[in-house]
């Protein structure tokens, strides 16, 4: 999609649709809206006094052929209260505008920001909203209509010196949203078209295009490295497993500098294995690789945004299948770290592949670890489809992740990690078992299991089981994979690189 900054006054821009927004207050028509109101001979004031235009969040007012403007349509979105409007809201508004206008066959639009929003951060959020809103799930529809795609969007309302800010925000927003859409595309692929090998090929192609180092470990290499936990999950499938390693190295690396490790769960399909899942909703388990896809997407963005720190993504990938060779409940496996694991439930496979993932990331020199995984149904019970569950072994590092989540407009919530939960994964026969012996607390128990393999390395675990995909369309986004976590981790990596305190 063509994205530009248009420096002309919005009333003077010829376009299929001019989009702006009104605030919910006594007089919704004020500031830049007054200018448009004057140009249209008071049409907007009339809409406001009749009660049609109130500025309520997500309200849409569409005026066709507005007199006095060069645009064919004027769309005014309700933006809620002025002091409540931030990047997260602007992103959603822009996405909602795109989706509404696309349904009316609009191919070109201009989004005009209001006074006080003439900055790079707002421009970035709007561009992200536009690109995320334009994303569709049409790949396998044979009657897809190409005209439903938006062809171009421009940012307007950035007066004078603010145009440079707009251009900066635009570029950043484009990189981030295109990366998020890359992850959504991978996540939406059905499992017959996205096996560990195809995912690895996609990772390799992405890395080469972005100029990142990439290493794909095949089953032979995984055997050599003694990744018994990952291999135990893979043994039930006729598709061989892969471990993807994608590395970004900044132009100057200080000796002893921190290295960020991003480990993502990429189960391309989770049947549960011998502890097989019920068939209801099982098709959703094609999304069980969304953590891995997120980490690859973050790398795609970082290659272009160039943080000051080294970042390594480690993505273990396999199917979890029942079969003649599948592991069975009660089997004991030896992880790469040397720890023995009693596999009580073969459906708790994500933690197994992550165990070897974090172990390998540490071996590669990562000083800080973050994993993202569609790990537990329990996190959906706790937080529904709203928040990502955040678990950490280091309060400061966990707080940094939560701060980035707020900056990126992604909802995340801290979860407990008391040592008491550690008791629940004690095994009678091995060092640990892969599910809890007690009742409840399933999301923390799962996190506790991964923690066993992180040792002293500061680590944060993101359980995205409730947020990695959406079952229904939202006004600002298509259904399917969401690409959750990506914006947070990009923000974190950028700050991490410039934050002296995190350097050893």
Among 6, 37, 185, 347, binds Zn ion (CB under 5 A): 347
In the list ligand BES, Zn ion, none, the entry touching 129 (Cβ below 5 to 8 angstroms by class) is none
Residue 282 and residue 271 in contact, taking contact as beta carbons nearer than 8 Å: yes
Query: What's the min distance (Å) between Cβ of 471 and ligand BES?
Result: 11
- Enumerate binding residues for ligand BES (CB under 6 A): 270, 288, 345, 347-350, 374-378, 380, 435, 442, 465
Report the catalytic residues: 277, 351
Closest CA to 218 of 242, 250, 188: 242
b/e sequence 221-259, b meaning 16+ C-beta within 10 Å:
ebeebebbbbbbbbbbbebbbbbbbbbbeeeeeeeebbb
Q: Which is nearer to ligand BES, 160 or 278 (CB)?
A: 278
> Per-residue x/- marks for Zn ion, 157-196, CB under 5 A?
----------------------------------------
In the list ligand BES, Zn ion, none, the entry touching 371 (Cβ below 5 to 8 angstroms by class) is none
Q: Which is nearer to Zn ion, 270 or 410 (CB)?
A: 270
Query: What's the min distance (Å) between Cβ of 283 and ligand BES?
Result: 12
Q: Which is nearer to Zn ion, 161 or 278 (CB)?
A: 278
319 binds Zn ion (CB under 5 A): no
Closest CA to 329 of 434, 222, 259, 254: 434
491 binds Zn ion (CB under 5 A): no
Distance CA 354, CA 104 (A): 45
Query: What's the min distance (Å) between Cβ of 154 and ligand BES?
Result: 39
Distance CA 318, CA 289 (A): 9
66-74, 201-209, 233-241, 260-268 -> range binding Zn ion (CB under 5 A): 260-268
194-202, 244-252, 330-338, 347-355 -> range binding Zn ion (CB under 5 A): 347-355
Closest CA to 242 of 267, 273, 271: 267
Classify residue 25 by its DSSP letter.
S
> Per-residue x/- marks for Zn ion, 78-117, CB under 5 A?
----------------------------------------
In the list ligand BES, Zn ion, none, the entry touching 452 (Cβ below 5 to 8 angstroms by class) is none
Closest CA to 205 of 251, 260, 249, 244: 244
Residue 111 is encoded by which pair of tokens? 């989004």
Distance CA 173, CA 487 (A): 10
Bridge-based pairing state of the strands 310-320 and 242-248: antiparallel
Distance CA 53, CA 59 (A): 8
Distance CA 147, CA 380 (A): 37
70-78, 127-135, 264-272, 380-388 -> range binding Zn ion (CB under 5 A): 264-272
Query: What's the min distance (Å) between Cβ of 265 and ligand BES?
Result: 8
Query: What's the min distance (Å) between Cβ of 401 and ligand BES?
Result: 20
Closest CA to 53 of 75, 84, 86, 85: 75
In the list ligand BES, Zn ion, none, the entry touching 377 (Cβ below 5 to 8 angstroms by class) is ligand BES
270 binds Zn ion (CB under 5 A): yes
Among 196, 350, 409, 483, binds Zn ion (CB under 5 A): 350
Q: Which is nearer to ligand BES, 307 or 350 (CB)?
A: 350
In the list ligand BES, Zn ion, none, the entry touching 435 (Cβ below 5 to 8 angstroms by class) is ligand BES
Query: What's the min distance (Å) between Cβ of 406 and ligand BES?
Result: 24
Residue 321 is encoded by which pair of tokens? 């299948």
Q: Which is nearer to ligand BES, 86 or 377 (CB)?
A: 377
In the list ligand BES, Zn ion, none, the entry touching 96 (Cβ below 5 to 8 angstroms by class) is none
Q: Which is nearer to ligand BES, 123 or 424 (CB)?
A: 424
Bridge-based pairing state of the strands 368-373 and 331-334: unpaired
Distance CA 54, CA 77 (A): 10
H/E run at residue 340: strand 340-343
Residue 183 and residue 262 in contact, taking contact as beta carbons nearer than 8 Å: no
Q: Which is nearer to Zn ion, 288 or 410 (CB)?
A: 288
Distance CA 350, CA 450 (A): 9
In the list ligand BES, Zn ion, none, the entry touching 7 (Cβ below 5 to 8 angstroms by class) is none
Report 285-314 residues binding Zn ion (CB under 5 A): 288
What is the Cα 336 distance to its own chain's centre? Answer: 29
Place of tokens 């171009």: 152
Q: Which residues, in sequence order, are CB contacts of 343 under 8 Å at separation 6+?
A: 232, 327, 328, 329, 330, 331, 332, 333, 352, 433, 434
Q: Which is nearer to ligand BES, 185 or 347 (CB)?
A: 347
Binding site for Zn ion (CB under 5 A): 267, 270, 288, 347, 349-350
């Amino acid at each position: 999609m063509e994205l530009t900054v248009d420096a002309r006054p919005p009333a003077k821009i010829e376009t299929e649709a001019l989009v702006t927004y009104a605030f919910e207050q006594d007089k919704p028509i004020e500031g830049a809206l007054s200018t448009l109101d004057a140009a249209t001979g008071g049409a907007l004031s009339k809409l406001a006094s009749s009660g049609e235009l109130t500025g309520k969040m997500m309200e849409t007012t569409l005026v066709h052929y507005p007199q006095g403007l060069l645009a064919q349509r004027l769309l005014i979105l309700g933006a809620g209260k002025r002091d409540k409007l931030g990047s997260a809201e602007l992103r959603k508004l822009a996405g909602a505008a795109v989706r509404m206008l696309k349904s009316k066959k609009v191919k070109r639009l201009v989004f005009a920001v209001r006074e006080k929003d003439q900055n790079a951060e707002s421009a970035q959020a709007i561009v992200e909203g536009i690109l995320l809103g334009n994303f569709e799930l049409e790949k396998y529809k044979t009657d897809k209509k190409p005209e439903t795609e938006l062809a171009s969007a421009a940012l307007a309302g950035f007066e004078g010196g603010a145009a440079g800010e707009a251009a900066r925000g635009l570029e950043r927003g484009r990189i981030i949203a295109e990366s998020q859409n890359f992850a959504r595309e991978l996540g939406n692929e059905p499992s017959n078209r996205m096996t560990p090998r195809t995912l690895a090929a996609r990772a390799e192609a992405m890395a080469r295009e972005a100029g990142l180092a990439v290493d794909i470990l095949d089953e032979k290499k995984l055997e050599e490295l003694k990744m018994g936990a990952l291999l135990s999950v893979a043994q039930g499938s006729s598709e061989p497993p892969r471990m993807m390693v994608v590395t970004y190295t900044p132009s100057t690396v200080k000796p002893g500098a921190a290295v960020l490790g991003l480990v993502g769960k990429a189960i391309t399909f989770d049947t549960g294995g011998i502890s097989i899942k019920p068939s209801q909703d099982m098709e959703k388990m094609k999304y069980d690789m969304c953590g891995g896809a997120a980490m690859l997407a973050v790398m795609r963005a970082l290659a272009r945004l160039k943080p000051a720190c080294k970042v390594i993504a480690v993505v273990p990938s396999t199917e979890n299948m029942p079969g003649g060779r599948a592991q069975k409940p009660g089997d004991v496996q030896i992880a790469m770290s040397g720890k023995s694991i009693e596999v009580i439930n073969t459906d708790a496979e994500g933690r197994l592949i992550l165990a070897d993932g974090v172990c390998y990331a540490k071996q590669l020199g990562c000083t800080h670890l973050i994993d993202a995984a569609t790990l537990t149904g329990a996190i959906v019970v706790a937080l529904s489809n709203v928040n990502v569950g955040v678990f950490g072994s280091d309060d400061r590092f966990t707080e940094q992740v939560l701060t980035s989540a707020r900056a990126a407009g992604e909802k995340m919530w801290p979860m407990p990690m008391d040592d008491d939960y550690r008791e629940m994964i004690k095994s009678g026969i091995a060092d640990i078992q892969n599910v809890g012996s007690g009742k409840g607390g399933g999301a923390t128990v799962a996190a506790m299991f991964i923690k066993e393999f992180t040792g002293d390395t500061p680590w944060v675990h993101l359980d995205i089981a409730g947020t990695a995909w959406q079952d229904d369309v939202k006004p600002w986004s298509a259904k399917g994979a969401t690409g959750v976590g990506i914006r947070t981790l990009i923000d974190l990596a950028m700050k991490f690189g410039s934050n002296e305190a995190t350097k050893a």
